Amino acid sequence: MIPIDDSPLTRDGKVLILAYDHGLEHGPVDFEDVPESANPEHVFDVATHDAVTSIAVQKGIAEAYYPSYEDDVNLLAKLNGTSNLWRGEPDSAVNWSVDYAHEVGADSIGFTVYGGSNNEIEMVEEWREAQEKARDYGMASVMWSYPRGQGLRNANTPDSIAYSARLGLELGADVAKVKYPGSKEAMEETVRVAGKTKVVMSGGSKRSDEEFLSNVKSVIDAGGAGLAVGRNIFQRENPERILDALEKVIFEESTVEEALDA
Ligand code: FBP
């Protein structure tokens, strides 16, 4: 593993990745509530908030927009990804190489692995190549670890989510990004089995400030490192306000009430 606590991906050992690959994964529908969120410049501006440790984007967004932000934002290159137009077994195309991501300015990589998919073997082999190349550059690697596949029942049970975090440890991820398993206790178990791999929560669909921050708080209380979040930031009219609150919960050990009252 790399000394992840010295990596630009972390601040005081904690992680807050602003995920912005939704235009590929879900399509422009995710930008309808806040139309300016379709503009990458708006979201890069949001990512200059002190609470954000990195922004995760695909190649085209990085090439076109990162040069204007490289002094203010850390770049996580989300290397693979697939559109929502794809109707086959879960899979993810590798869209750029680690070499090229490094050239563009990334200091960490992100990679989806769908454990349980009929394509798991190929995805894990692609991950291996990316993870080892990232090691050469001293770049942290984050596994978007989602159990998903036509033969997989109960993909989002606490056991499946704990297993997905363990896959991160077994396969050399510095950080495993997993779905919220539903409770602090389940997250404690997920963090426990992930060992030295940091566990972060995947943001999920937009919900109220209270509900979202409570989930984040229980992740932190369970020993999780933070979160990688998109819609719960850029689908808000005032992303700065929720980032102020997240900064308090993740980095300052505040309660949800304290964070919202500030
Ligand atoms: P959200 O916080 O909006 O859930 O974003 C996190 C993320 O992993 C994105 O990087 C990705 O685009 C999206 O979720 C994929 O979610 P799913 O595959 O569950 O639709």
Question: What's the CATH fold of domain 4-261?
Answer: TIM Barrel (3.20.20)
Which residue reads 């999780």 in tokens? 224
DSSP assignment string, 167-210: HHHHTT-SEEEE---SSHHHHHHHHHHTTTSEEEEE--S---HH
Question: Which residue has the least CA distance to atom 19 on ligand 1?
Answer: 204
CA distance 33 to 37: 9
Residue 155 confidence (pLDDT) above 90? no
CA of 259 to the centre of ligand 1 (A): 24
**DSSP, res 260:** H
Question: Which residue has the least CA distance to atom 5 on ligand 1?
Answer: 230
CA of 135 to the centre of ligand 1 (A): 25
Closest alpha carbon to 99 in 144, 43, 139? 139
Ligand 1 pocket: which of 17, 20, 25 to mutate (most atoms <8 Å of CB)? Answer: 25
Q: What is the pLDDT of residues 210-238, one digit of tens each?
A: 999 999 999 999 999 999 999 999 999 99
CA of 202 to the centre of ligand 1 (A): 7
Instruction: Point out the residues that are catalytic.
Output: 177
In this predicted complex, what is the ipTM?
0.93
- Prediction pTM value: 0.97
Question: Which residue has the least CA distance to atom 12 on ligand 1?
Answer: 22
